[in-house]
Every structure is written in structure tokens, then in C-alpha cells.
Structure 1
Amino acid sequence: MTKIRAFDHVDTWVFDLDNTLYPHHVNLWQQVDQRIGEFIGAYLKVSPEQARFIQKDYYRRYGTSMRGMMTEHGVHADDYLAYVHQIDHSPLEPNPAMGAAIAKLPGRKLILTNGSTDHAGAVLNRLGLAAHFEAVFDIIAAELEPKPAPQTYHKFLRDHSVDPARAAMFEDLARNLVVPHQLGMTTVLVVPDGTREVVREDWELEGRDDPYVDHVTDDLTWFLQELVQNS
């Protein structure tokens, strides 16, 4: 049996953004999801049903619907990102308990997201977490190649001088932990708490028992509090 990796050696803490730093049941991403469908429908001049099918097909095959639209239809990333991230961030509430726990983690804290820096900034500001993170590595920094593309992780590690053997990665999609685990990172999958409805595809909620997932939590604030308390 594969040994579960611990945290005692970790000095760099890498967090995904959406559905990781805030609970799944906030369903903030549902707004983005809806606007992606609107963008695809308008751009391709197809029905909402056709747009939805294309959106989810590209998401699964390319990592993001945007990457699929760029590859298959020549969409410009700037136009796409500007439209889909025009959302209401007010459902997010400050999380001082999480902020206090993140502040106590030893070492650096970074964001690795398939979203944009503008969206990340809005989310972090609403959560009251912006001051705790050294940098955001977004889809533009990734040269528009989303997770789980291996080159995205390699570029992130290079750009921020991160030793993966001394890093931990927190994610809500198990497939985005495959490469980090292969590179030597300790991996944490953040799942819904099961008490409230979440708007996710079935496959997005899979993978909690996969060998590249070292830890699973449905309460990231509690998990981080336990980490710092026991360190």
C-alpha cells in the first residue's frame, strides 16, 4: 500500500481557488458556468442545449471550456475571460478562521488557478484572504494551458521556484492532483460537506479514493486548523 504523505516537511502551500478556498455549496462557480454557456451559444450561434453539451465536452477533454473554444474555434482568451468572470461575488463571506490558519502555516502560500487574476483577486478579497498569499499563478501565466496539463505545473514550479517534494497542493478536482502527486507533492482533495446541494458534474466529485490523493477533507478551515495545531 502506498504511504500517505504527511506535512512535516512542507514549506510551500499551493491552493486552487474556486470550490477549494470557499465551500462547494456557495455555488459561485455556477454563475461562471452559466456565462460560459452563454458565451459559447452566442459565439457558435447554437441553442442553449447545444452550447451546454459543447461546454461540458470541452471542459472534460481540454481542462477548460476556454481551451476547447480556443483550439476548436479560435476564440481569443481575453474576450472569453472578460465575459465569463463578470459575476456577483457577494455570496462569498469573509473567513477569518481560515485566514488565521493559513497565516500560521510555515512557509510560502501560493494560488494555482485555471481562472484569471482578476477573478482570483475578487474572490480572495471577499474571503479576506488576499494578504496571506504571495502570488497568484493564473491561466494567463500558464500560457492558457489549464490544469491538469503537466506543462502548467512545471511552469508554475519554475516561475515560483517551488520544490515539489516540499510542497502541498489543495484542490477540489481529483484529476488536478495526479501530476502534483507524481512530482512529489502532498495532495489534499477538498470535497463537498454533503449537507447542502452542490452544482457539479458527477465526474467532478470522483476520485477521493484514488492513490494520488493523500488526504480528503470536507472542511478546509478545520483541516488547516488541525494542521497548524499539530505541527
Structure 2
Amino acid sequence: MPTSSRAAADFSHVDTWVFDLDNTLYPPGLDLWRQIDEKMRAYIADFLSLSLDEAFALQKGYYRKYGTSLRGLMIEHAMDPDDFLAHVHDIDLASLDPAPELGEALGALPGRKLVYTNGSRRHAEQILAKLGISGHFADVHDIVAAEFHPKPHETAYKGFLKRFDVDPLRAAMFEDLARNLEVPAELGMRTVLVVPPGLVVPPSDREAWEHEGQDADHIDVVTDDLTAFLNSLRAA
């Protein structure tokens, strides 16, 4: 699908650019999220002595209710998060290639660039290094820095804005999940939803509800090519 935007989607005032990590700075077709998803399922099954099917149902239920499966496990089962994060982010990055064109587009953006992820800092740093774009980002805000309050909850975003002294009226946020852009829009941020190229059905590691909301009023721009969209901002 081509990039689509609302008439009022002006980015000329933006001086802080906030990017989600997984399935946003790299395309979901690389199957990295499937690895994470399967590791979560196996960890939960072992931790709670469940079958894989039971663990999958619990994992997705907590994810939808709490924002992350981890948050649900911490609240419902008093799980220590450190081992969980280390385990689920121990994945094979062989399919992830450097992205010099994305790096060039990021470098051309005026102002500060930040990564805001529900994952761990170590995971983010490994992804950014493999893509070859680490140097374009001032910092990473991970789930530990967020005190385990995940997107899409308002508390998480307000903590992020306070930590980095971000004026939401001068910021833009890029995400692959529409629900994670609702609060940023309410706070005054420009919102960009990054979707897979030619998406007809959700990737197998995602449920249909995760892709709902692409036409919602809180989405300023929908694009299936992040690099091309960033280049269009430079051209404008």
C-alpha cells in the first residue's frame, strides 16, 4: 500500500522523532518477532507448568489485557522479569541485514531521534547495531526504564516524555501497532503507523486484533515503507 496521510499531517515543527523497534525499524517478514513469540510461549509453559497451547492462550490474554505478557506475569504470578527478558530476546539475527538507506534517511531528520520499545535495551542495541543505525539515536527507552509500565498505557508515555524532556507538541511517534499510537495522539504527537508491504492478512505470529485501527482518527500517516516516508519529509 502507498503512504497515506491526513491533510493536517505536517511534520515541519517536529524536533524529536520517536521510533518503536520491533516490526517498525525492520520489516516483520524477517520473522524475528516469531522467534520472540515462541520463546515467550516456551518460557511461560515452563514457568507455570502448562502445555504450550495453554501457555499461548495465557500469553496472548495477558498481552491484550496488560500491554505485554511480561506485565501480566509480574502482576498475576509475581515473576522476576530479568531472566524472562534475557531468554525471550536471545534470538538469531542472521536474517537482519544492514539498512544504509534507512540510516541515511534517519540522519537527514532534524533534531533528536529516540527508540521507545516494550522490549529490553540489550535487544534494542543488538538490532540497531545489526541494522547499522545505532549512531543516529540519542538513547533507548526500554521496558526496564519504564519501570515495566508498557505501551499503550498512559503512565508509560508520560514517564518517557518526562525522562527525555520531550514536548509532545513537537514530537512524532512511529509504531507498527495502531493501539500504541492512541495516547501519543491524545498528548499532541504526530503519529505514523508502519505496516508490512502489501499486507493482506496479519503475519502468522500476530492476531487479527493487533492490526485493527489503521483507519482510526488518531493515526496521522500510514506507510508501508518507512525509509521512503522519511525521505518524503526531507523532500518536503
Q: TM-score, normalised by structure 2?
A: 0.94
Q: Any gaps of 5 or more consecutive residues in structure 2? A: 1-5
2:179 aligned with 1:175, yes or no?
Answer: yes
SS at match of 1:9: coil
Q: Any gaps of 5 or more consecutive residues in structure 1? A: none
Q: Distance in 2 between matches of 1:23 and 1:57?
A: 25
Give the superposition deviation at 1:3: 6.1
- The CA deviation string for residues 5-61 of structure 1, in whole angstroms up to 9 with x for no partner, is 310110000000000000121121110000000000000101011001001001111
- The CA deviation string for residues 171-209 of structure 1, in whole angstroms up to 9 with x for no partner, is 001000011000000000001112698332111111110
2:124 aligned with 1:123, yes or no?
Answer: no
Equivalent residue, structure 1, for 2:3: none
Q: 1:89 aligns with which of 93, 98, 104?
A: 93
Equivalent residue, structure 1, for 2:55: 51
SS at match of 1:165: helix
Q: Distance in 2 between matches of 1:25 and 1:114?
A: 20
- The CA deviation string for residues 141-182 of structure 1, in whole angstroms up to 9 with x for no partner, is 000111011111111111101000000000001000011000
Q: Distance in 2 between matches of 1:90 and 1:122?
A: 12
Equivalent residue, structure 2, for 1:13: 17
Q: Distance in 1 between matches of 2:103 and 2:71?
A: 32
Equivalent residue, structure 2, for 1:187: 191
Aligned identity (percent) is 54
Equivalent residue, structure 2, for 1:209: 215
Q: TM-score, normalised by structure 1?
A: 0.96
SS at match of 1:4: coil
Q: Count the aligned residue pairs.
A: 229
